[in-house]
Amino acid sequence: MAISGWFVLLLAAGAVPVVLLGGLPGLALWGVVVAIVAAVDLVLAGSPAALEFARDVPARLRLGESGTARLAVANPGRRTVRGVIRDAWEPSAGARPARHRLTVDAGDRVVVATTLRPVRRGERRAASVTVRSFGPLRMVARQRTIAVPGVVRVLPPFTSRKHLPSRLARLRELDGRTSVMVRGQGTEFDSLREYVRGDDVRSLDWRASARRRDPASGQMKLVVRTWRPERDRRVVIVIDSSRTSAARIADEPRLDTAFESALLLAALATRAGDRVDVLVHDRVVRGRVQGATGAELLARTVDMLAPIEPEMIEGDWHAIPELVQSVTNQRALVVLVTPIDTPGASRPLLAMLPGLTRKHVVVVAAVTDPDVVAATRDRSGSDDVYRAASAERALLDVARVDTAIRQTGAEVVTAPPADLPPALADRYLALKAAGRL
């Protein structure tokens, strides 16, 4: 049972009979009156236990987007239910409003709409519904909490998709579908076409040009070879979900930045005709997408990444070569998205890389903290000088790890959170243009 403000006012109004009739008799009489009013109001209130509920929630939402969750409330009872209903979602689901006015006549059905705007990815759940049904006098209410489970999967926002059109345009240049050709070692011959201004003169085919003449003038027509990067190569993206990926940089977990980088690279590589596999690993495989292409690859990848959170354990880097071997026996581009901090913390990664680089092209992608770089420039006070010295030491540690990774034969891509996805995509295009895949 719950009481309302009207019930409190009714109790306060008892001061009048208490004064008129005397202390104890007046108080007892008013107590009886209040109890009778409350009992009658409670008996006439509709029963929340008789209500029936059905949820209609969006199966998936992208982080930052809004959706509407609908709750159908049916009243098969004999009394009207008037009151308040609270649809209890997790706070991170961003449910608004939290409470709704409710009036359901006997035998009727109403729908309550709640706007969801999640602030965290993953599975956001609704556990129960609480209904407070008041009587006709609005003094007291029956209250009951009913379990009505619901879940919406909040997908990574994939904000880096804004960089995809420009990278696809560069891919088309590499692929020979524009007038600007890039010839790289190991690329495949595609076709011949007439020379246009802007073409690389090194791609001129003089024999083919000698066989072609302009019918009107009889002059030789210049012909160029068009080249395209190799297709159907393997790209294996391994995302580190160990404890170091939980750190927040620029108000975003490192793991979320890794997801953005992996999604942009996967979208670009599948459009380039390569086969992409995505793995999330710490000491065990937390998620895997294999054998998908095109739109299916992105759909399955974002769905797989959505519920994954950093694990507070050390990563097992020695298992990575065997993990890549289980995906493909061919030479592949292996992209490891992981933080690189101190030489001590990166020792297992450095010990594993030589065995991996002997067979594959390896790129290590790591996010950098722009606040650390900014701290090196501020030396206005004594505290700032010490902070700048600490930041400089942190940057030197990262530089040492960067150098050690390159000495193993791998490449390194480092950038702030907003710049890491396009930087990794650019490195993939550079490797593609150079024919190293």
152 close to 17: Cβ distance less than 8 angstroms = no
| Same-fold call for 1-155 versus 231-433 | no
**Mean pLDDT computed over 369-389:** 91
At residue 294's C-alpha, the angle toward residues 292 and 299, to 5°, is 70
Residue 237, C-beta contacts closer than 8 angstroms, at least 6 positions apart: 262, 265, 266, 276, 277, 278, 279, 335, 337
Q: How confident is the model at residue 42 (pLDDT cuts 50, 70, 90)?
A: confident
Backbone angles phi, psi at 236, to 5 degrees: -115, 120
- In the prediction, which pLDDT does 280 show? 98
pLDDT in tens, 159-211: 999 999 999 999 888 765 443 334 443 455 556 777 777 777 677 777 777 77
The CATH architecture assigned to 231-433 reads 3-Layer(aba) Sandwich (3.40)
**Mean pLDDT computed over 305-320:** 95
103 close to 80: Cβ distance less than 8 angstroms = yes
Greater pLDDT, 258 or 345: 258
Amino acid at 201: V
Residue 184, C-beta contacts closer than 8 angstroms, at least 6 positions apart: 227, 229, 433, 434, 435
237 close to 277: Cβ distance less than 8 angstroms = yes
Does residue 326 carry a pLDDT above 90?
yes
Whole-Å CA distances, 138 to 13, 40, 43, 107, 393: 16, 11, 12, 22, 68
**Mean pLDDT computed over 264-280:** 95
**Mean pLDDT computed over 231-243:** 92
pLDDT in tens, 104-147: 999 999 999 999 999 999 999 998 999 998 888 777 888 999 99
* Domain spans, the chain: 1-155, 176-228, 231-433
CA–CA dist 322, 103 (Å, integer): 62
CA–CA dist 350, 323 (Å, integer): 17
Query: From the centroid of its chain, how far is CA 292?
Result: 19
- Sheet strands side by side (includes 67-74): 52-56, 67-74, 109-116, 95-96
For the chain, give the percent of residues with pLDDT over 70.
Answer: 89
Whole-Å CA distances, 16 to 9, 25, 32, 39, 428: 12, 12, 15, 22, 84
- Rg, the chain, Cα only: 33
Does residue 98 carry a pLDDT above 90?
no
Does residue 292 carry a pLDDT above 80?
yes
Does residue 334 carry a pLDDT above 90?
yes
The CATH architecture assigned to 1-155 reads Sandwich (2.60)
252-289 burial: b if 16+ Cβ within 10 Å, else e: ebbbbbbbbbbbbbbbbbbbbebbbbbbbbbeeebbeb
The whole-chain average pLDDT of the chain stands at 87
- In the prediction, which pLDDT does 31 show? 73
- In the prediction, which pLDDT does 324 show? 96
Q: How confident is the model at residue 227 (pLDDT cuts 50, 70, 90)?
A: low
- In the prediction, which pLDDT does 176 show? 57
**Mean pLDDT computed over 54-73:** 94
Q: How confident is the model at residue 331 (pLDDT cuts 50, 70, 90)?
A: very high
